[in-house]
Amino acid sequence: MSASEFSLIDRYFAAHDLHRPDVALGIGDDCALLVPPAGQQLVVTMDTLVADVHFFAAADPEGLGHKALAVNLSDLASMGATPAWATLALTLPKANEDWLERFCRGLFALADRYDVQLVGGDTTHGPVTTLTIQAHGFVPPGSALRRDGAQPGDGVYVTGTPGDAGLALAAAYGKALVVPEGRVYAQQRLERPEPRLAEGVALRGVASAAIDISDGLAQDLGHILERSGVGARLEVERLPLSPALAASLDWDAAIVTALASGDDYELCFTVPPERVAWLESVARGWECRCTRIGVITAEPGLRLVRADGSAFRLERLGYDHFG
């Protein structure tokens, strides 16, 4: 690595002033030295964003800095973990300082908000911009929210309003028109997803299973169903649609978007009947909505029904509704 790249690391990554007491040695040596809290489980996750695959190469770098970390923190949230540390592997076609500065602004603004310290990484030259973050957090033993705990009779819930990022993406491809008053909102939902960390921690001991929605609610709930060996019945009329989504698409298209578009980073989780009152009391303090959308069934598979009990056909799951 060249001297100028060392100075880039110093200037942009090592200079940041957030210092957690559990970091004995941060950026600057061959490795970081970290002190996990006694008696806690270390929770580790990694996600990569590749230019022209996960984001437009010309996208706002500040938003990319936010999103590269947010998608990882969302994984920690889905496990009920408290975040602590992150490492960053950055591959760039060229060392564009303006880009790096803005990327760091977005990254560190989110990191600081959740007391996450960047403790190391790697910086390389390569043909396409690739952003890989590994995030680390803690959870008390036995209290992580997993995919395999859902039981028949458990309620199925979702945070926030799924489908907003999908709406913004469809608009970016010229396949949907967002109502003018919803444009900034939808774009924010795509570019600045808010990891549901407080909600994930609050769901410890409450939820029987949880996942974050990155590939579409129906598909990601499917992972819970598969791992838990159960099915689910979703009442599509219960799906919480944002005003922007509801006003921009006709009802059927809005429901399909809420069910089958990606990049939402909301939590989908299940709660046993005896803990529903507990959920309702903790969810009162949340900044986002928390909506019951269905129930876990013993019969495997995902059934989508309307209020009158008739089937809602999601014929184009995995297929672009706007294509």
Distance CA 247, CA 249 (A): 6
**Which of residues 118, 211, 245, 255 is near ligand ADP by CB under 6 A?**
118
- Supply 88's token pair: 């960053």
Residue 194, helix vs strand vs coil:
coil
Instruction: Measure the N-to-C terminal CA separation of the chain; round to a whole number of Å.
Output: 44
Measured from the CB atom, the residue of 98 and 274 that comes closer to ligand ADP is 98
- Please tell me whether residue 132 binds ligand ADP under the rule CB under 6 A: no
Contact in structure between 260 and 217 (CB atoms under 8 Å): yes
- Please tell me whether residue 104 binds ligand ADP under the rule CB under 6 A: no
Q: Which stretch binds Mg ion (CB under 5 A): 33-41, 121-129, 140-148, 162-170?
A: 121-129
Distance CA 134, CA 138 (A): 14
Q: Which stretch binds ligand ADP (CB under 6 A): 22-30, 163-171, 254-262, 312-320?
A: 22-30
Measured from the CB atom, the residue of 130 and 159 that comes closer to ligand ADP is 130
Distance CA 147, CA 296 (A): 13
Q: What's the alpha-carbon Rg for the chain, to the nearest Å?
A: 20
Output the smallest distance, CB 96 to ligand ADP, in A. Answer: 14
- Please tell me whether residue 122 binds Mg ion under the rule CB under 5 A: yes
The DSSP call for residue 37 is: P
Measured from the CB atom, the residue of 22 and 215 that comes closer to ligand ADP is 22
Q: Which does 25 bind (CB under 5 to 8 A by kind): Mg ion, ligand ADP, none?
A: none
- Supply 250's token pair: 């006709």
- Please tell me whether residue 101 binds ligand ADP under the rule CB under 6 A: no
Q: Which does 168 bind (CB under 5 to 8 A by kind): Mg ion, ligand ADP, none?
A: none
